[in-house]
Amino acid sequence: MRILISIVLLLFVVTGASFAQEGPETGEETFKKRVLENTEIDLLAGYYSQDGENAAVTGGRGTEELTDIAPTIVVSIPMNEDDVLTIDAGISAYTSASSSNVDPFDGKGPADPFTASSGASASDVYANFTGTYSHSSDDRNKIWTAKLSVSTEYDYFSAGVGGSYTRLFNEKNTELSFNANIYLDTWNAIYPYELRPFGEGGNGLNNNLFNRIVGNEPYAPSFTEFDGETRNSYSVGLNFSQILSKKIQGSLALDLVQQEGLLSTPFQRVYFSDKPDVFIENFHLADDVERLPDTRFKIAAGGRLNFYLNEIFVIRSYYRFYTDDWGILSNTASVEVPVKISQKFTLYPSYRYYDQTAADYFGPYEEHLSTEEFYTSDYDLSEYTANQYGIGMKYTDIFTNFHLWHLGLKSVDLRYYHYQRNSGLTSDLVSGGLNFILEK
Amino acid sequence: MIQKIIMGIFISAVMGSCATVKEYEKVELNDPDMSLSAGKVDRFQTNFQAYREAAAGANGGKTGGGCGCN
């Protein structure tokens, strides 16, 4: 916390000093270059796959296999000399073995937390749309942006509004930016299949499903449906960038986030050690779903430092400290070293380290007690460290020699990342992008 | 302790030099790889990390809201 206070104080001190250094605007050069010369189009796509054996849907034990494909288009349109409209639209289509086990009783084989089911929740499509409008002042030292976003998936809808104000001074050596965002989200709560008979209007143990229970243990879950299904997030952020020399620049960022509402994921099971274990086939019936507090306050503070070593090497470094009132402390550090192997090709080897402590409410499979107020077996909230290794390549043609209709190809990006947690989860990500310029 | 040391080094580096660099001296700083924000293609990396990790924010990505994650 003392570090965060120091950073905030530092930002205010430096900001004040830099404002004091700023010269009068009168008499400055009046030539005005367009903020964006041509419409730019980015076609992006990502393919993600993961595997592990700590699925939150099945209480911290079960397959986490998941694949996701996410095509996206980003179009930036110059509206006039000062204004740019950016449209960002994409979908993300996933298939998930763990989500499929929201309903593992599909009758196509023994229900089992380590085997995917064919239920409706085995796949879903997330669609998002964001529109951002930015305006720059004549001297390009002030930038305002306004943003609207909407996203939807089967059990989740989100509407967001945000804005930012950026001020450059000290001959554009210093930049201070403030942003604020509000997201108003709504769940369409989906509960584990065996708990639904105990929800509103359900027939409890009279449901035919329970005729399949193995043995004579009584099934008596602690489940009740959530009262509210909204989740609101309010965030403010401060970003300070500074050129330090002709070859070095850095930035500091501080984000504060307050969340309220349904912060639990309604289909993530929990098993209590003080309740009888009841099974259908190989599947342990849930005692409840995860219960998390309905507020969460997060603080993230990070810094970047980039060095232009020479015409071949650049070093890009990043560090972030994170904490929240659920008891999580986290460190993230990464380094990327772009290597210009020719005028048009650059390689991007990278490494990222991540660690976090466990949330106060986390417990593994069957280690919670039914007397606790809050509980989850989601390993995303457990203690772990993760290492990520990446490699990428970028082709850049500033003269856009290759054309597709009126579109000139400016760059092609390709990235691969391998991610590994010490708790067992592994994932791979391949992403790519084509950047086109619309020529008049 | 480690994060305090790293943050201290970073703040020292930031405060260590505030000499003004003129526009015509920014050729190397204007190299796209010197950008202080993540590239567009990095969004997929930031997104999956926001889903799989408790920490988010201070990296230009989402800080919470807008998806069932975090």
Q: Which residue has the higher pLDDT, A405 or A58?
A: A58
Q: From the CA of A124, how many Å to the nearest CA of chain B?
A: 12
C-alpha span between A327 and A359 (Å, rounded):
5
Contacts of A389 in chain B (CB under 8 A): none
Say which range, A23-32, A63-72, A139-148, A302-311, has the weakest mean pLDDT. Answer: A23-32
Position A129 pLDDT exceeds 80: yes
Q: Look at residue A1 and tell me whether its pLDDT is greater than 50.
A: no
Which residue carries 């020529």 as its tokens? Answer: A439
pLDDT band, very low/low/confident/very high, at A33 (cuts 50, 70, 90)? confident
- Beta-carbon separation of A308 and B59 below 8 A: no
Record the tokens describing residue A426, joined without a space.
Answer: 């592994």
Put simply, the answer to whether A3 touches B4 (Cβ < 8 Å) is: yes
Q: Is the pLDDT of residue A262 over 70?
A: yes
**pLDDT tens digits, residue range B1-30?**
666 666 665 555 555 556 799 999 999 999
What is the band of A23 on the pLDDT scale with cuts at 50, 70, 90?
Answer: very low
Residue A42 in contact with partner chain B when CB distance is under 8 A: yes
User: How many helices and strands (H and E) does chain A possess?
Assistant: 2, 24
Tell me, what's the pLDDT at B35?
95
Task: Give mean pLDDT, residues A82-101.
Answer: 93
| pLDDT tens readout for residues A220-247 | 999 999 999 999 999 999 999 999 999 9
For chain B, say whether A172 makes contact (Cβ under 8 Å).
yes
Select from B3, B4, B66 the Cβ nearest to the Cβ of A160: B66
pLDDT cut 90: percent of chain A above it? 81
pLDDT at A18: 42
Please state the rounded mean pLDDT for residues A17-46: 70
Q: What is the pLDDT of residues A361-390, one digit of tens each?
A: 999 999 999 999 999 999 999 999 999 999
Q: What is the arithmetic mean of pLDDT over A102-110? A: 85
| Contacts with B54 (C-beta within 8 Å, 6 or more apart), sequence order | A322, A324, A326, A328, A330, A356, A359, A380, A381, B70
What pLDDT does B69 receive? 65
Q: What is the mean pLDDT of residues A402-428?
A: 95
**A123 confidence band (pLDDT: 50, 70, 90):** confident
Per-residue pLDDT reduced to its tens digit, A309-363: 999 999 999 999 999 999 999 999 999 999 999 999 999 999 999 999 999 999 9
First to last CA, chain B: 26
Instruction: Tell me the C-alpha to C-alpha distance, in Å, between residue A384 and each of A197, A264, A420, A421.
Output: 36, 20, 10, 7
Name the fold adopted by A35-304+359-438. Answer: Porin (2.40.160)
Q: Kindly report the nearest CA distance between residue B66 and chain A, in angstroms.
A: 5
Q: How far is Cα A385 from Cα A356, in angstroms, rounded to an integer?
A: 7
- What are phi and psi for residue A175, nearest 5 degrees? -135, 130
**Residue B56 to residues A113, A137, A325, B69, Cα–Cα distance (Å):** 29, 31, 14, 10
Calculate what percentage of chain A has a pLDDT beyond 70: 93
Interface of A with B in 238-257 (CB under 8 A): 241-255, 257
Rounded to a whole number of angstroms, the distance from the CA of B69 to the nearest CA of chain A is 9
- The pLDDT, as a whole number, for residue B63 is 67
pLDDT at residue B55 is higher than 60: yes
Q: Counting runs of H as helices and runs of E as strands, what totals does chain B give?
A: 2, 0
Interface-testing mutation among A150, A229, A289, A322, with chain B (most B C-beta atoms within 10 A): A322
Radius of gyration of chain A (CA): 25
Interface check for A384 against chain B (CB to CB < 8 A): the answer is no
**Chain B residues with CB-CB distance to A249 below 8 A:** 29, 34, 36
For residues A179 and A162, is the Cβ–Cβ distance under 8 A? yes
Kindly identify which residue of chain B lies nearest to residue A179, measuring between CA atoms: B60
The larger pLDDT score, comparing residue A368 to residue A401, is at A368
- Furthest CA-CA distance within chain A: 88
pTM: 0.88
d(CA A400, CA A409) in angstroms, rounded, equals 5
- Does A99 have pLDDT greater than 70? yes
Mention every residue, 6+ apart, whose C-beta is less than 8 A from residue A211.
Answer: none
Label residue A116 by pLDDT band (50, 70, 90).
confident
* Residues of chain A neighbouring B36 (CB-CB closer than 8 A): 241, 249-251, 304, 306
Which of A356, A413, A419 is the closest to B39 by Cβ? Answer: A413
Average per-residue pLDDT for chain A: 91
Which of the four pLDDT bands, split at 50, 70 and 90, describes residue A295? very high
pLDDT score recorded for residue A89: 96
| Mean pLDDT, rounded, for A73-102 | 94
Interface confidence, given as ipTM, is 0.86
Q: Which chain B residues are within 8 Å of A346, Cβ to Cβ?
A: 33
**pLDDT value, residue B3:** 62
Q: What is the pLDDT of residue A172?
A: 94
